[in-house]
């Protein structure tokens, strides 16, 4: 739990690095696996989730003295689904193609544990500033993790980056088709999480010694 001594910036950085929702907490794996096949999808998905977590933390934090403990989950869910609906309709209106590619995964942000956990752990017991710092940290961390997976999968699987070709045309027959498919998501994310764990373990050992 965030104690008073931790600065808001530390709270933000926690979400991006030490407490990264995808790579460390292993939350939000479903979109991280399903829509990380291109960088564009990853960024839009990350943006939508960031919007939702920020707004949900904002509302929850402002209402924290009014919310009775036994109905808090209900309130969280209603708040989150409101903003998910807004995000979904916005994407359909302004980014129709991407929205179609993301399919049901934008509405599914409602059930993303990553977002409700921020309301439960931080927003319900902290002030507005702290809650927003936390939400931005988690949002940026989520977007970054998705983007890393997205970059790897898009370059290897499609030979493009943000839909611009980055590999020579001769590479065409050598594209790693597996990277566009679900196994590519599992392999990429698994290897990245493995590397993150390795680095964290090494840091912990180094810190203790």
Partner 1 sequence: MSEAPAGTGPGGAAPDVVKTQELFVSAAPHLAAGRSTRWIMFQVVAALMPLLIASTVFYGFRAILLTVFTVAGCLVAEAIANAIRGRSQASLGDGSAVVTGMILAFSLPPALNFYMAVIGGAVAISLAKAIFGGLGHNLFNPAMVGRAFLMVCFPAAMGVWSEPAIVFEGMALAAVDGVTMATPLQAAVDRMPGLAAMFVGQVGGSLGETSALAALLGGLYLVLRGVADWRPVVGTLAGAMIVAFIAHWAAPQTYEGPGFHLFAGAMMFGAFFIATDYVGAPITPAGRWIFGFGVGGLVMVIRLFGAYPEGFMFAILIMNAMTPLIERVTVPTPFGGHVVTN
Q: Which is nearer to partner 1, 68 or 205 (CB)?
A: 205
CA-angle at 196, arms to 112 and 157, nearest 5°: 75
Residue selected from 4, 69, 168, 173 as contacting partner 1 according to rule CB under 8 A: 173
Say which residues have a Cβ less than 8 Å from residue 121's Cβ, sequence separation at least 6. Answer: 1
**Three-class secondary structure of residue 161 per DSSP:** strand
**With binding defined as CB under 8 A, does residue 204 bind partner 1?**
no
Q: Toward partner 1, which CB reaches closer, 69 or 173?
A: 173
Of 111 and 181, CB closest to partner 1 = 181
Stretch that binds partner 1, among 6-14, 31-39, 43-51, 168-176 (CB under 8 A): 168-176
Min dist CB 156 to partner 1, Å, is 9
Calculate the CA dihedral of residues 107, 109, 110, 113 and round it to 10 degrees. 160
Size of the site for partner 1 (CB under 8 A): 11
d(CA 203, CA 24): 14
* Position 177 contacts partner 1 (CB under 8 A): yes
């Amino acid at each position: 739990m965030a104690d008073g001594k931790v600065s808001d910036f530390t709270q933000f950085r926690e979400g991006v690095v030490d407490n990264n929702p995808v790579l460390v907490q292993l939350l939000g794996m479903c979109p991280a696996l399903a829509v990380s096949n291109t960088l564009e999808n990853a960024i839009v998905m990350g943006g939508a989730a960031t919007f939702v977590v920020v707004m949900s933390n904002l509302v929850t934090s402002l209402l924290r003295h009014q919310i009775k403990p036994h109905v808090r989950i209900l309130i969280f869910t209603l708040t989150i689904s409101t903003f998910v609906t807004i995000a979904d309709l916005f994407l359909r209106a302004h980014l129709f193609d991407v929205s179609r590619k993301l399919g049901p995964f934008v509405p599914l942000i409602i059930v993303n544990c990553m977002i409700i956990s921020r309301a439960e752990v931080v927003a319900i017991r902290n002030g507005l500033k702290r809650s927003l710092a936390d939400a931005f940290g988690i949002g940026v961390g989520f977007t970054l993790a998705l983007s890393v997976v997205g970059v790897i999968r898009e370059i290897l699987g499609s030979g493009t980056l943000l839909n611009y070709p980055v590999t020579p045309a001769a590479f065409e027959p050598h594209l790693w088709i597996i990277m566009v498919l679900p196994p590519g998501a599992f392999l990429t994310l698994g290897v990245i999480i493995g590397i993150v764990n390795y680095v964290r373990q090494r840091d912990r050992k180094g810190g203790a010694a």
